[in-house]
Amino acid sequence: MPKAQSINQNLAPYVLPNFRNMGVALRSLLLVNGIALLAAIFSASSWQGIAQYMVNFSALLQPILLLNLLALYIFNPMLARLSYLRGVGVILLLAATITLVVHHLSGAFYIVSTGIISTGEDGYFHLWRNATVSVAITALLLAYFRSRAQALSPALHEARLQALQARIRPHFLFNTINAVLGIVRADPKRAETALEDMADLFRMAMAHHSDLVAAHKEISLARQYLALEQMRLGERLKVSWHTQDLPDDVLIPPLILQPLLENAVYHGIEPLTAGGEINIKLYRKANEIHLDVHNPRQAQSDRHSGNKMALSNIRERLALQFDVEAKYTVAAGKNFYHVHIMLPYIKEEKNEHS
Amino acid sequence: MSIAKLPFTVFVVDDEPLARNRLKELLADCNQQLPLDVVGEAGNGCEALDKLSATRADVVLVDIRMPQMDGIELAQHLNKLPLPPAIIFTTAFDAYAIRAFELHAVDYLLKPIRIGRLLDALIRARTSVPVRAEVLQEISTEPRKNLSVHERGKVYLIPIDEVLYLRAEMKYVTVRTAQREYLIEEALAALEKEFASRFVRIHRNCLVAKEQVAGFEKVSDDGSGETHWTVKLKNLDERLAISRRQQFVVKEFS
């Protein structure tokens, strides 16, 4: 199993969150500071007191929190290899250790800034108190991520199912079979190729998918799909691919590209008598992978929108899998439709097969 | 009485060449049991109308989902021919249409088509009457893109976006374009319902294209001293009277 599969915290709730995901870090920051604010409100006896307490808490809290997140970012790959319970243990231990170290280093400063004059064994009390609170909050966060994963996993299952159905759109299935029947007598060889393409397409669609697949596999599948549509639509369908700026080792979620293309064919090309060109562009920009699908469409097209499902499904899956690190945007003009998807650049690890 | 000695004439309409090919092969296979002639084929509705105005066919096999003009609209225009052909709809998958066909007992074939089904449908079609216009309108999911009129043995299409106004007189409706007038045999109320997004009623007997409205003018009635509103059109120098009941239209526009 490629390492990158741990990228999402879904399906099994007993998986640690991916601490390299910006959404996870952001949620942790907000939640911890939220708790601190509550504590400040609780401790204060006046409005100004809240701010004062918040400042005091922050002096210790922010360094610990940021160091913790940094440590989790660094150790994320190692943590992902542990079982869930062990991982939790390690993370709690890490939180306690960082708290103690920070406390020790800034001990004097902390005591002065909070105005608590402590001597002797009272210092140990603060040490113990901070470590306990820090471990408790960390545990709370882990519990939150687990319950979030639990809540999302049925949605993801559902999304997978829908993606499957989106790919096996009956309109495409029956029309393609009909087209193959239309050439089987005149051109049996071509009919054979078409059936082989179809078998590949359906095998992929029905396979049990991992969270990520090699982009080049998705691309070749999409090409097979378009070859089938080309057989049906002939010269009406023109396709132009731009993939030269895409590295070979890119991983993307399965069933993203082909449904987009099917959409472009169904709503863009088919309603046009003269047809048109679908423009597909995949490229890498820094740490992002970009995916563009551009197609013409009929000026005042008001066809019933059965496709919305496929698109909203893609949007949903991206949100579940990448949180804020993926973007999905649509630009619809009077006679064109453009979908743009941005994903984080996830590399296929060479030592493991995909 | 013996059923037609002459071979049965069939016409095929589908936007996909391979689908037409398949149908022609099947029709050739049918020939043994049911003598028939494929008299032509078309890749879209306009082409089909042109060819079928010149060549008569007993049965037309029409794909539902086609660019420009869908199969249901084509059937509506074909009904205007002096001897309208029987129509058999074909579709690969269209849940909505299939439900509508079942509801109105309209014959259809599912692609890929089996020869047995095709034969049955052809035999039934020989004795069937054309599907009524109201039924077709009910089945269609979107308004027609054209009105049609039969003149000098040919069906003419009037693109709906060229129509300035529709006016009912006696049993006809006058269709006015910037160039000329046509008479069609349809009910104004049905047209109003079908093209609700495009036309607005300004009088008991008149619908005007919303985007053709250039402005409103108050005109005094002859003699009586009373006044009424009229519509000024963009592409035609003609004033259309607004009835008292429809006067709110003036407010809605300004």
What does the pLDDT look like over A302-321, one tens digit per residue? 444 445 666 777 887 787 77
What does the pLDDT look like over B66-87, one tens digit per residue? 998 999 999 999 988 888 999 9
In angstroms, the CA A26 to CA A137 distance is 15
Determine if residue A255 is left, alpha or beta; phi over 0 gives left, psi from -120 to 50 gives alpha, anything else beta: left
Q: Kindly list the residues from chain B whose CB atom is less than 8 angstroms away from the CB atom of residue A302.
A: 142
Residue bearing tokens 């022609």: B24
Q: Mean pLDDT, to the nearest integer, of A198-216?
A: 81
Strand B199-203 to B8-13 pairing: unpaired
**Does the N-terminal peptide bond of residue A271 adopt cis geometry, omega within 30 degrees of 0?**
no
Q: Mean pLDDT, to the nearest integer, of A123-152?
A: 84
CB contact under 8 A, B67 and A272: yes
Neighbouring residues of A77: CB distance < 8 A, sequence distance ≥ 6: A3
pLDDT at residue number B88: 94
User: Touching check for B142 and chain A: CB below 8 Å?
Assistant: yes
Q: Mean pLDDT, to the nearest integer, of A44-51?
A: 88
Nearest-by-Cβ selection for A232 from B18, B25, B44 = B18
The Cα of A22 is separated from the nearest Cα of chain B by a number of Å equal to 43
Give the confidence band of A108 by pLDDT, cuts at 50, 70, 90: low
The answer to whether A335 and A299 are in contact (CB under 8 A) is yes
Give the confidence band of A4 by pLDDT, cuts at 50, 70, 90: very low
Count other Cβ atoms within 10 Å, centred on residue A240: 10
Q: Mean pLDDT, to the nearest integer, of A69-95?
A: 89
| Assigned token pair, A272 | 């046009």
User: Touching check for B96 and chain A: CB below 8 Å?
Assistant: yes
Question: Which chain B residue's Cα is nearest to A233?
Answer: B16
Residue count of chain B, please give it: 254
In angstroms, the CA A98 to CA A119 distance is 23
What does the pLDDT look like over B95-106, one tens digit per residue? 888 888 888 888
Q: Mean pLDDT, to the nearest integer, of B3-10?
A: 74
Give the confidence band of A2 by pLDDT, cuts at 50, 70, 90: very low
Greater pLDDT, A167 or A184: A184
User: Touching check for B47 and chain A: CB below 8 Å?
Assistant: no
User: Touching check for B67 and chain A: CB below 8 Å?
Assistant: yes
Nearest-by-Cβ selection for A185 from B17, B25, B65 = B25
CB contact under 8 A, A174 and B92: yes
The Cα of B110 is separated from the nearest Cα of chain A by a number of Å equal to 9
The answer to whether A295 and A237 are in contact (CB under 8 A) is no
Neighbouring residues of A328: CB distance < 8 A, sequence distance ≥ 6: A314, A315, A318, A339, A340, A341, A342
Backbone angles phi, psi at A241, to 5 degrees: -105, 140
Q: Mean pLDDT, to the nearest integer, of A206-230?
A: 87
Nearest-by-Cβ selection for B93 from A170, A186, A232 = A170
Share of chain B above pLDDT 90, in %: 57
What does the pLDDT look like over A8-29, one tens digit per residue? 434 455 778 888 888 888 889 9
Q: Is the pLDDT score of A116 beyond 60?
A: no
Question: Which chain B residue's Cα is nearest to A231?
Answer: B18
The answer to whether A255 and A163 are in contact (CB under 8 A) is yes
Q: Kindly list the residues from chain B whose CB atom is less than 8 angstroms away from the CB atom of residue A175.
A: 16, 19, 92-93, 111
Greater pLDDT, A124 or B195: B195
Give the confidence band of A5 by pLDDT, cuts at 50, 70, 90: very low
CB contact under 8 A, A178 and B142: no
Q: Mean pLDDT, to the nearest integer, of A74-83?
A: 87
Residue bearing tokens 């619908």: B207
Q: Is the pLDDT score of A169 beyond 80?
A: no
What are the residues of chain A with a beta carbon less than 8 Å away from any beta carbon of chain B? 170-171, 173-175, 177-179, 181-183, 185-186, 231-234, 270-273, 298, 302-304
pLDDT at residue number A99: 87
Give the confidence band of B218 by pLDDT, cuts at 50, 70, 90: confident
pLDDT at residue number A8: 42
pLDDT at residue number A354: 42
Q: Mean pLDDT, to the nearest integer, of A275-296?
A: 95
| Assigned token pair, A325 | 């690190």
Q: Mean pLDDT, to the nearest integer, of A80-84?
A: 86
User: Which helix (DSSP H) or strand (DSSP E) does residue B184 occupy?
Assistant: strand B181-184
CB contact under 8 A, A182 and B19: yes
Greater pLDDT, A115 or B209: B209
| Assigned token pair, A64 | 């610990």
* CA A60 to each of CA A200, A228, A240, B250: distance values in angstroms, whole numbers, following the listed order: 58, 63, 57, 70
The answer to whether A292 and A340 are in contact (CB under 8 A) is yes
Indicate the average pLDDT of chain A.
82
Least confident of A103-117, A240-254, A258-272: A103-117
Question: Which chain A residue's Cα is nearest to B20?
Answer: A182
Give the confidence band of B40 by pLDDT, cuts at 50, 70, 90: very high
